[in-house]
């Protein structure tokens, strides 16, 4: 009745992976340059920082990957 086809890469999963990689660069770079104490301060301060935006981009990337897998379900 329902048959799942093998997964084929699509644009949503490609964008999801690209978002995850680009969002991971900012915290890693700041850890190397500033150290863990400053990065912790960036995450816990009340200001909008690039680290907080990178968390949103990671969530967006994960949701793109999930949507990319869900879109591949075909009913035959």
**What are the pLDDT digits (tens) for 37-60?**
988 888 899 999 888 999 999 999
Question: pTM of the prediction?
Answer: 0.75
Distances in Å between the Cα of 3 and the Cα atoms of 8, 21, 33, 47, 75 are 15, 33, 50, 49, 6
Q: Residue 45 falls within a domain, yes or no? A: yes
Q: Residue 21 falls within a domain, yes or no? A: yes
Side-chain-side CA neighbours of 14 within 13 Å: the count stands at 4
Q: Residue 22 falls within a domain, yes or no? A: yes
Domain that holds residue 47: 11-70
Q: Residue 75 falls within a domain, yes or no? A: no
Q: Residue 4 falls within a domain, yes or no? A: no
Identify the pLDDT of residue 71: 56
Query: How many domains does the chain fold into?
Result: 1
Distance CA 23, CA 14 (A): 14
Q: Residue 3 falls within a domain, yes or no? A: no
Residue with tokens 């967006």: 60
């Amino acid at each position: 009745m329902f048959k799942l086809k093998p997964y084929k890469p699509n644009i949503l999963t490609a964008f999801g992976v690209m978002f995850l990689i680009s969002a991971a660069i900012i915290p890693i770079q700041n850890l190397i340059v500033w150290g863990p104490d400053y990065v912790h301060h960036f995450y816990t301060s009340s200001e909008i920082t690039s680290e907080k935006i990178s968390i949103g981009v990671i969530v967006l990337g994960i949701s793109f990957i999930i949507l990319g897998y869900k879109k591949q379900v075909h009913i035959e």
